[in-house]
Chain A
Amino acid sequence: MKVRFDFVIHWLYAIIWALLGISGFAMVGAKYGWLLNFNYGTADYVHRLSAAAFVLITFISICYEVYRAIKRDDKHLAWFIFGRSGYQLFTFIVSLILIITGALIWICTELEMTVAGFALLVHEYISYIALASIIWHIYMKCHALIWPKKAEAKPNKTQGGGKDATKTMV
């Protein structure tokens, strides 16, 4: 079975985003604290570790896109997280905003509370928009969640043979 790079990156990004979402919203306030049983310490550690993984995946994806641009590869990668149009472009911009504001919160809580406060406000509201967009994204692309059916191993001569059977793969 050939595993595609864009497919792997997509699901790694999705898992890390889920971890960041759960730990992040659990830290936002008592309203969503129940997500991690009001354990803000654990939420903080999970969020910081997942954030590092998120930055790493974003970096790898950007490197891959730059490599494709140098190679003049214009092929559309359906599963890739970043791209020049549509939801891929939206994900790219939102990821950048979240990383930059996240880095400001990370460093500025020890230096400058005004900047940290402003970054936290933007970080939180962008997260709400991103979460809503993910629900919409899952709704639009839920047909991709159907597991591909294996074609019949033995070709059925009475019903047309093996070549047609492969067409039933989703």
Chain B
Amino acid sequence: MFDKKKLNFWRLTMIFISITVIVLFMLWSTPQAKTNGMMDSSMGNMMKSMHVSNIKIYDLLSSKGNQQQMDEMHKHHANQESIIYKLGFFTTALIFLLLPLIIAGSILLAIVWIK
């Protein structure tokens, strides 16, 4: 019944379970750690009820962004600590520079692999 070859998997499982139990035990013993009521549901489910409950494909493609809200958010980001702002700029630049290359490479690989 018990496969000896899978012993490593069960060892890893036991380590992760122990870590999880220790973390939960330590958190339950700190009464100041309170959760926000809004965060009770997962972020995806929250988005589903707030923004994605009644959308069509047209809504995904059309832009009706609120300029004022956008400016406010940008201002908030610009007010962050210098190092965090620089890191944010660097990571954003890296991701959006590499993204087109990743998509192009994936299309190329798809063509080569299907051949």
Contact = CB atoms under 8 A, between A and B. Distances in A.
A118 B55 contact: yes
Interface string A128-170: 0000000000110011011000000000000000000000000
A51 B27 CA distance: 27
Interface of A: 27-31, 33-35, 37-38, 45, 48-49, 51-52, 55-56, 58-59, 62-63, 65-66, 69, 82, 84, 92, 96, 99-100, 103, 106-107, 109-118, 120-121, 123-125, 138-139, 142-143, 145-146
Interface residues of B, number: 54
B31 interface: no
Contacts of A139: 6, 9
Prevailing SS type, chain B contact patch? helix
Top 3 nearest A-B pairs (CB, nearest first) are: A117-B51, A124-B44, A117-B47
Prevailing SS type, chain A contact patch? helix
Interface in B47-61: 47-48, 50-52, 55, 59-60
Interface of B: 5-9, 12, 23-24, 27, 33, 35-36, 39-48, 50-52, 55, 59-60, 63-65, 70, 73-74, 84, 87-88, 90-92, 94-96, 98-99, 101-103, 105-106, 108-109, 112-113
